Structure 1
Amino acid sequence: MFLKKFTEGISEILFPKVCTVCGLRLATNENFVCHNCLNDKFEEAYRPGKGSTSDAMLPEGVYLQHALWNFDKGGYLQELLHQLKYHRLTGVGVDIGRQLGKSLLRNPHFMNRIKDRKVCLLPVPLYPKKRRMRGYNQAFYIAEGVAEVTGLYILKKDVIQRIKNTGTQTGFSLEKRRKNIDGAFQVIEPERVKDVLCVIIDDVFTTGATTFELSSELKKAGSGEIMIATAAQA
């Protein structure tokens, strides 16, 4: 035990943990992003009193759209999400998820709806080939952070599958995104979502094409109300 603590102490001196965003040394109770950056570096999207954080028109059955931050193209947040998505910094996803969970708990539209209901967190599934290539699903780690803070459970990944490889939709128009994502998801075990309020978790909400398509399949499978919660909105 002494040797382990000694080794950890030496490692901390030689290779101190620093914040992924600002580069400053992390406190012992911080993980990958310091509290200052999580609380002050990015523009908060949620405004008290609003049912949704964007101006998107929500389809039938989708009760709430909630983003933690407003996307900053070319800024710190874009880089942070890029690190999460493509460089295996999964701990960043958990940090962001915890912050998203706290934001959801401050939203009365969320809190009033989940009372006395069965509620699950649903990370947007990746196409199997893409998941194998990347090695992980970034939305799952965001969901892990949300689960830690809210106490909600994460729906196991095999319940809903992505059956169409849509590729990146960056730069697509809304119509092209909708056409591209059409038929991309399939509910394999509908009994797992029947009458369950599903909170869809993703990294960025842009036009809503992906989460709305997933919502449509959930409704066909008999789910309860649907909410969408993301780290950012563009």
Structure 2
Amino acid sequence: MNTNFMSLTLELFVGFFALLVMTKVLGKNQITQLTPFDFISALVLGELVGNAIYDKDIGLHYVLYAVAVWGTLIYTIEMITQKMRKSRPWLEGTPSLIISKGKIQYEELKKNKLDLDQLLHLLRDKGVFSVREVEYGILETNGAVNVLRKQPLDFPINRDLQIPAKPVHLPVLLILDGEVNEEGLSHINKEKSWLIDELLHRGIAGPSAVFFAEWQKGEGFEIQTY
């Protein structure tokens, strides 16, 4: 019994870290640009590892083999689509214009197996509650819909409102879950003592009392305590 537990534990560890390595190799696009194929391939990869771990007739080396082969196939497809532009429509699909000049393109919906209820749901995800607000709508390869609103209903931008331009700065995370982010302090050329003094000045005992704190040039601190 102890041997079985040790064997299962070892296989779980190997399977876990093999999947972790594979996700790092395949890159962030597996999540941020998840196409139907990517979703299915991720499920299959997890299923292969699961079966290899819990099937008593399959050894540890099969776990690694399954991850390596399936990951190699996915990586190869990614390399092909990066190097050969003509392969992208076949392997990744192409965006579809499902709303054109305010009119729903029925044939495109039918081609993409999308019904009106699904379309309306996807539009609401973008903050659009009526088709009449949309001039153009594009169904992306990952299943999301991006819209270009009709001009009278579109959001104004700073240039439209004639707001003077000013520099834009990224906020820097300084404290998270009570722990100081040394990298953030280094980024703004400050010491930990400076941060503690700023907290004390605001009546906060120290970093351990802070749930979240960030600093932005021109805006100062945003601090939330526990």
TM-score of Structure 1 vs Structure 2, range by shorter chain: under 0.3
Which gives a bigger RCO, structure 1 or 2 (Cα 8 Å, sep 6+)?
1
TM-score relative to the length of structure 1 = 0.21
Greater helix content:
2
TM-score relative to the length of structure 2 = 0.21
